[in-house]
Structure 1
Amino acid sequence: MNSRSGLGVFLVIGLSVATAGQALDVAIRDTPFAAVFTSGGKTVVEVVDANRSALYVNGWGGRASLVGPPRVVKDGDGTELTYRTSDGRTARVELRPAEEGAIQVRFSVAGKARWERLGITLRVSEDEGFYGLLERPVQGILHESFPPRDAGFNLRGQEVWLYVLPTHALYSPFFVSSRGWGLYVESSWPGIYRFGRDGRGRPTPTQVTIEYEGPELVVRIFGGATPLEVVEKYSRTVGTTVLPPEWVFGPWRWRDEVWNLPTFYDGTPARGPYNSMVVEDILMMDALGIPCSAYVLDRPWAGGTMGYGDLEFDPERFPNAEAMLAWLKGRGVQPVLWLGPWVLDARRAEAVTRGYHVRKRIPYPPRAALLDFTSSEAAAWWQGLLAPLLDLGIAGFKLDRGDEDVPDGLLFSGSYSDGTGYREGHNAYPLWFARAAHGALPDPADSLLLVRAGWVGTSTYAIAWGGDPASNEWGLRNSVLALQRAAAMGFPIWGSDTGGYTGRPSREVFARWLGFSAFCPLMEVGPTANLAPWSWPPDGTPARVDAQGYRFAPTYDEELVAIWILYARLHDDLRAYTYAQAVAAHERGTPIVRPLVFVHPDRPEYVDLWETYLYGPDLLVRPVWERGARSVTVHIPPREWRDLWTGETWEGPRTIAVEAPLHVIPAYVRVGSELDHLDLAARWVEAQKRARSQPDLSSLLPAHGW
């Protein structure tokens, strides 16, 4: 039937999908094409571009629109409209109900050239926020020495080229609106999203445009009562997160490189049979009461080129490797090993001979062969190389650099083994990498994969960390944002390099980062410039540790040690709570971390807010990232919340000013929840007491027979 709208005559085509009490209906204006999605008589989102077609094809010759009237064909539960374009080609638009109450729109144009992009225009409100797409604050190589200081959680005002770039490399062609709808593009081709701006950077506050390469543009539009519900629906559509074993949610430790030194940091002879720096970490953490559930052995760990060439433990760096792994596991510490998507040395030669590599002109790293994981034979061969490592006792793999060496399909063109072109496969490569590694695990339910790069579906195999942030306050800021971006994209189990990756953090940055990581699903402390708080030099003092040992006089930083004790213990005590949230993420798609706008979209002050977030339903956190800050503003959401430091209760919604000395991260618990007993002030007193006594490594060795 026809209905009247301010946009003209609409055809209600009868697409209606009900789920969990929500129903989406679509009304279509055939000329020029437009579509209005409603739920319960309320507009959810409009695919509208004023007096132009909201679907179009864009190329060097300009924009070609759909012209009508179309031929309309009902096909079962869907509807297909066939148009002519303004440049004389045939275009098809198909609308069909999909899972989770979504409606799928499929758009194609006959004779579309490779350089042309298919586009869709949405009309939005001026006060609407948009969240998702990418982990980093803005697209581009993330040079955090020149950080995007104005970029926040809300994508409004940004142009996002959805193309996987190195580090901070989680991506998903999905975003959610603060008004309770979301849009997912079913494509791994590169695309461009413009939120409230046009291609020249001019403001268009009521418009969002999306343009994609590839043969067709397929989108799903979801509706929901809140953005949180929309994220859940998207997650269930593409596959909810893997549920890793419970030990994953305890505190971790790693260094970027460990050497087998003759002495520990304090000069004590390292008489143990295993790598001295690993032993130092484990013994010191145990003596200080710092729990550790996993230890990451990063590259270099093997013999050959780049400390990775032969995929066997280097006996000089890691003597008695099998016994060391058993020793770690006997202490409740699960060993996690670094892997890349390429092979070197003799493994490279074999991969090239067998045709298992991605063919491109310039290998990176030099002399490396990037593996073609679309080939089942190549994946099986590589999995066979990993089997001996798993037999040694490795509990999981850290999958790194799946975002660096993948051909772009333009400068380096070609196809993967399964026929996917390099251009279409660029974004999907991290998914293939994770899928192949998952296939190597003998018991995936009791193992772990940790990825730096991810695409749609990656989280069904692996959890993620925000790799290589700068070791300064901007790296911390970006990580607080990335945690919430990851939650919006369907990567709910996430952590960061505590203290940053690129260099040594200041005492302040490291202390603040420890507090933040305690309220992340994954708390991995490192690499900390290959140092530790018990071997920490004063700020501004040159310090280096390498194969020759410690090139400075290490200092036991009692305050930093106490802060680490405090937050590692807190994170460990929250392990059962976090695991319960991970179960909900696995079963229902509910993110663990929840930006306040996702839960309270009716509060306009939350649209751009990211500094305060919910950790599960019962904890409220405000990380302190600003340099020199000793007080911050906290947004208290609706309901009653108790300050975990002072015991004071607050009824929200309101904002409050809170004192935040170096050891304090403002945190609150929902009154009446199972965590209402937490007392961080008492825990801080206990942590300080524990840190006052510097452990004597020489007295710890005899207990191990060394």
Structure 2
Amino acid sequence: MKFTDGFWHARPGVAIHYAREVDRIAADASQLRAIAPTKVVEKRGDTLNLPVLTTTVDAPMENVVRVRHTHHKGKPEPRRLQLDTTDGVGKATVEDGVATFVSGELSVQLAVGKTWEMSFRARGRQLTRSGGKSAAWADVAPGAAVDHGPIQLERDGRTSYMFDQLDLGVGELVYGLGERFGPVVKNGQTVDIWNYDGGTSSEQAYKNVPFYLTNAGYGVLVNDPGHVSFEVGSEAVERVQFSVPGETLEYYVIYGPDPKTILERYTALTGRPAEIPAWTYGLWLSTSFTTDYDEATVSSFIDGMAQRDIPLSLFHFDCFWMREFNWCDFEWDERVFPDPEGMLARLHERGLRVCVWINPYIAQQSPLFDEGMAAGYLVRNRDGSVWQWDRWQAGMALVDFTNPEATAWYKDKLRVLVRQGVDAFKTDFGERIPVDVEYFDGSDPERMHNYYTHLYNQAVHEVLAEERGVGEAVLFARSASAGGQQFPVHWGGDSTASYASMAETLRGGLSLAFSGFGYWSHDIGGFEMTPDAGVFKRWTAFGLFSSHSRMHGSGSYRVPWMFGEDESLPTSAVAVTRKFARLKNRLAPYLVEAGAEAHRTGTPIMRPMLMEFPDDPAVPHLDRQYMLGRDLLVAPVFSAEGDVDLYLPGGEWVGLLTGERVTGGRWLRENHDFDSLPVYVRPGAVIALGADEERPDGDHLDGLTLLVHTSDENGWSRTVEVRGTDGEPVTFTVRRDGDNVVAESTLTAGWALEVVGGGRADASAGTAGVTA
């Protein structure tokens, strides 16, 4: 939120008390503690009637520092994010009034004197700093000329905020802050960290994360699960400001120097994306939302896909698998699904997995409402009654996940479904969480608004991990907060069936990738409205070159033959879906390896260009193309005419679909028919391609092809891993030896080496060679 009226003045009704100087600094072995008066102290009398900020600096891990500004410390400590931290990591020293705190390569410096300046440095350069008029406590009067953002409750008396500002250098760009659908570069924006059910076409977001990183080599996490307001080069154009209500602000500065390393350290704090099984990478098909369907409808869709040779990995049942007005009771509507156990068994016999839609709301008509109310499992009003409203479901209430018994009760309802044969849950909603309520554990409801979805998704993920196994737990989640990446997969919410919405959806995915989320999906064809055939086909190509791929809509089905199936046309919707669904199954070994990297390091599968090419000055603003894993560049087509502009970084690239060699370091303008899009293989790439086009979870080693596009540099080498059916990785090392490309592995047969644009050799003896 904005506190100032230009550079010189506070807004009417706002008193801003900036840290003006450093009066004293104390240090122990692993912490600095500074006292900062909010005016320059010239004489003893100046110390009276004066707010003072206390700042502590320590480290939760190497190359990360924690800064904590406190005005009054007598209030109860608010809920913080769940972070994995270690005490006593850094080293603090004070010499001649200059304090230095060091954590790995990152250091913080403060000096006693008549100015406030806290500088963050690494490798001999300043990353950023909190300078004059940066760290502050703001005292806001009722009726002040400020916008409190999403929190517009009447407050008792004055309202306190804490904020800090960190400098932006010339050319420094800011990324992240959750899944946001505007420009991927956040400079000039005001961002409220507050989950909304707002669709993809507004400034609101389902997944709000109080973390950003910059192209200057560092990231910042504000450790507060509630409303955090960011002014990104907006209120103060030279700075990023972040503010929270209350008396304490805590944030972490995370050194990189590159985006991947920043995310690796950020996800070490907040949690890494869980591993997910290979079957999730295939095509998912949904009943859609408000459409009519029963088992016969479901079977007709599955039969239709099989008859048209379109491979399908999972079928999703949206809301109306339960009876209307009963959401959620977790009971199949017997009028349309009289034999759920038999139906699920029949779907499994066809090689399909099953996902069902749920949410954390309990409608008044659900039998669970009375059960939950009697046991105290539902969120309550301040007078002790159950909180309810009629938006979404009549008389619905919220499960109180701060109550361990309520969480166990909810999880037990889901266990019944898992034991029936359900493989995954679409954890919808979780954003419209009230703040005028009370929680079982006494949590501040403002801080629970965003954090509620974390507890919700965590509970559901735990059920699947406990029932199916850790590596088999899969969600399809819409809402999230910091740390939510631990419970994948996430999808982009309610888009519309248009090219503009397709582009904004991609921007949301890239923004989420910068926020530490490893896997991401979206509704192929758009959710609202019915797409025309062009939008559906372009979105299908984009969707099947995404981490995860689901066809889903609102009031109409998304089976491809409804958008054209002339078998004489390679550009019909059926032909386009068949082509890219089968190709994606072949890419499953490559995607599984990228997913394993996400789990190990936090590097997402779908990567903004900056993440792979941080030193290329042409890529920082690009948000209409991305890297899928390390080695594939994808540029979706956002027009019916097929025109697309894209940038290739330096080196020689090769079209995956065309085999064409193209020199990079320049912009290209291409035109693609509906059965194509720009997909380029990076120089130095090794891509594991499976032989099975029918499913993504077969034996990836049987008929494996290593698609190689070598570097021109002699001595070039790459190592990749491919997992067999037992889940154990097999290592392949590919290297250039003069004019030859040689691949080696302990696997003695059943794989081949293919150099893009060159020859091919079998690898029956465990070593393959081919002339480049």
- The TM-score range, normalised by the shorter chain, is 0.7 to 0.9
Q: Of residues 251, 255, 278 in structure 1, which corresponds to 2:298?
A: 278
**Distance in structure 1 (CA, Å) of the matches to 2:517 and 2:11:** 32
The unaligned stretches of length 5 or more in structure 1 are 1-48, 138-150, 199-203, 262-273, 539-555, 680-706
Native 8 Å contact 1:94 1:106 kept in 2: yes
Count the aligned residue pairs. 574
Partner of 2:580: helix, strand, or coil?
helix
Aligned to 1:687: none
Q: Of residues 300, 310, 317 in structure 1, which corresponds to 2:320?
A: 300
Native 8 Å contact 1:181 1:221 kept in 2: yes
Aligned to 2:309: 289
Partner of 2:196: helix, strand, or coil?
coil
Aligned residues: CA RMSD:
2.7
Aligned to 1:464: 490
Native 8 Å contact 1:161 1:192 kept in 2: yes
Partner of 1:349: helix, strand, or coil?
helix
Aligned to 1:171: 208
- Aligned pair 1:71/2:24, yes or no? yes
**Distance in structure 1 (CA, Å) of the matches to 2:587 and 2:10:** 51
Partner of 1:439: helix, strand, or coil?
helix
Q: 294-303 or 642-651, which moves further after superposition?
A: 642-651
Aligned to 1:492: 518
Partner of 1:584: helix, strand, or coil?
helix
Shift of 1:371: 0.6
**Distance in structure 2 (CA, Å) of the matches to 1:423 and 1:614:** 37
Post-superposition Cα deviations, 1:455-513, rounded to whole Å, max 9, x if no partner, equal 11222123201111111112201111112111111111110011111110111111111
**Distance in structure 1 (CA, Å) of the matches to 2:21 and 2:683:** 59
Q: Of residues 380, 399, 409 in structure 2, which corresponds to 1:359?
A: 380
Aligned to 1:661: 673
TM-score in terms of structure 2 length:
0.71
Native 8 Å contact 1:450 1:465 kept in 2: yes
Native 8 Å contact 2:497 2:525 kept in 1: yes
**Distance in structure 1 (CA, Å) of the matches to 2:410 and 2:343:** 25
Aligned to 1:431: 454
Shift of 1:390: 1.1
- Aligned pair 1:644/2:665, yes or no? no
Q: 155-164 or 285-294, which moves further after superposition?
A: 285-294
The one-letter code matched in structure 1 to 2:615 is D
Partner of 1:125: helix, strand, or coil?
coil
**Distance in structure 2 (CA, Å) of the matches to 1:211 and 1:256:** 40
Aligned to 1:569: 582
Shift of 1:557: 11
Q: Of residues 551, 562, 565 in structure 2, which corresponds to 1:525?
A: 551
Aligned to 2:334: 315
**Distance in structure 2 (CA, Å) of the matches to 1:58 and 1:108:** 23
Aligned to 1:241: 273
Shift of 1:672: 5.0
Aligned to 1:605: 618
Post-superposition Cα deviations, 1:601-651, rounded to whole Å, max 9, x if no partner, equal 3222212111121111110010112x3342221110133210123322123
**Distance in structure 1 (CA, Å) of the matches to 2:616 and 2:472:** 41
Native 8 Å contact 1:232 1:591 kept in 2: no
**Distance in structure 1 (CA, Å) of the matches to 2:10 and 2:161:** 6
Aligned to 1:591: 604
1:182-221 to structure 2, matched below 5 A, reads 182-198=219-235, 204-221=236-253
Native 8 Å contact 2:656 2:681 kept in 1: yes
Aligned to 2:59: 97
Aligned to 2:716: none
Shift of 1:676: 8.7
Aligned to 1:61: 14
Aligned to 1:9: none
**Distance in structure 1 (CA, Å) of the matches to 2:395 and 2:536:** 37
Q: Of residues 362, 366, 376 in structure 2, which corresponds to 1:343?
A: 362
**Distance in structure 2 (CA, Å) of the matches to 1:663 and 1:506:** 16
The one-letter code matched in structure 1 to 2:404 is S
Native 8 Å contact 1:152 1:610 kept in 2: yes
**Distance in structure 2 (CA, Å) of the matches to 1:574 and 1:677:** 5
Post-superposition Cα deviations, 1:385-431, rounded to whole Å, max 9, x if no partner, equal 12211110101111001112x01x3xxx2331122111111110110
- Aligned pair 1:393/2:355, yes or no? no
Call closer, same or farther: CA 1:537–1:529 in 2, change over 3 Å.
Answer: farther
Shift of 1:665: 1.4
- Aligned pair 1:333/2:295, yes or no? no
Shift of 1:558: 7.4
Q: Of residues 12, 15, 36 in structure 2, which corresponds to 1:83?
A: 36
Partner of 2:347: helix, strand, or coil?
helix
Native 8 Å contact 2:233 2:239 kept in 1: yes
Post-superposition Cα deviations, 1:281-323, rounded to whole Å, max 9, x if no partner, equal 11111122211111111111123x4353532111222232111
**Distance in structure 1 (CA, Å) of the matches to 2:438 and 2:51:** 28
Partner of 1:597: helix, strand, or coil?
helix
Post-superposition Cα deviations, 1:333-382, rounded to whole Å, max 9, x if no partner, equal 11011111012322111111211111245424321111110110100111
Post-superposition Cα deviations, 1:575-611, rounded to whole Å, max 9, x if no partner, equal 1111111111101111212211222232222121111
The one-letter code matched in structure 1 to 2:231 is R
- Aligned pair 1:674/2:686, yes or no? yes
Call closer, same or farther: CA 1:678–1:637 in 2, change over 3 Å.
Answer: farther
Native 8 Å contact 1:227 1:598 kept in 2: yes
Native 8 Å contact 1:260 1:276 kept in 2: no
Call closer, same or farther: CA 1:367–1:617 in 2, change over 3 Å.
Answer: same
**Distance in structure 2 (CA, Å) of the matches to 1:319 and 1:638:** 59
Aligned to 2:751: none
Native 8 Å contact 1:351 1:369 kept in 2: no
Native 8 Å contact 1:58 1:117 kept in 2: no
**Distance in structure 2 (CA, Å) of the matches to 1:309 and 1:156:** 41
**Distance in structure 2 (CA, Å) of the matches to 1:558 and 1:671:** 30
Partner of 2:651: helix, strand, or coil?
strand
Call closer, same or farther: CA 1:425–1:431 in 2, change over 3 Å.
Answer: same
Q: 413-422 or 505-514, which moves further after superposition?
A: 413-422
Partner of 2:443: helix, strand, or coil?
coil
Aligned to 2:752: none
Native 8 Å contact 2:327 2:361 kept in 1: no
Partner of 1:306: helix, strand, or coil?
coil
Call closer, same or farther: CA 1:58–1:183 in 2, change over 3 Å.
Answer: farther
The one-letter code matched in structure 1 to 2:357 is W
**Distance in structure 1 (CA, Å) of the matches to 2:455 and 2:446:** 15
Identity of aligned residues (%): 26
Q: Of residues 246, 252, 261 in structure 2, which corresponds to 1:229?
A: 261
The structure showing larger relative contact order (alpha-carbon pairs under 8 Å, at least 6 residues apart) is 1
Is the helix fraction higher in 1 or 2?
A: 1
Aligned to 2:94: none
**Distance in structure 2 (CA, Å) of the matches to 1:83 and 1:319:** 69
Shift of 1:537: 6.2
Aligned to 1:453: 479
Call closer, same or farther: CA 1:465–1:674 in 2, change over 3 Å.
Answer: same
Native 8 Å contact 2:551 2:558 kept in 1: no
**Distance in structure 2 (CA, Å) of the matches to 1:59 and 1:230:** 39
Shift of 1:100: 4.2
The one-letter code matched in structure 2 to 1:637 is P
Q: 521-530 or 244-253, which moves further after superposition?
A: 521-530
The one-letter code matched in structure 1 to 2:590 is Y
Call closer, same or farther: CA 1:227–1:510 in 2, change over 3 Å.
Answer: same
Post-superposition Cα deviations, 1:182-235, rounded to whole Å, max 9, x if no partner, equal 11111112111111211xxxxx44222111123311111111131222122211
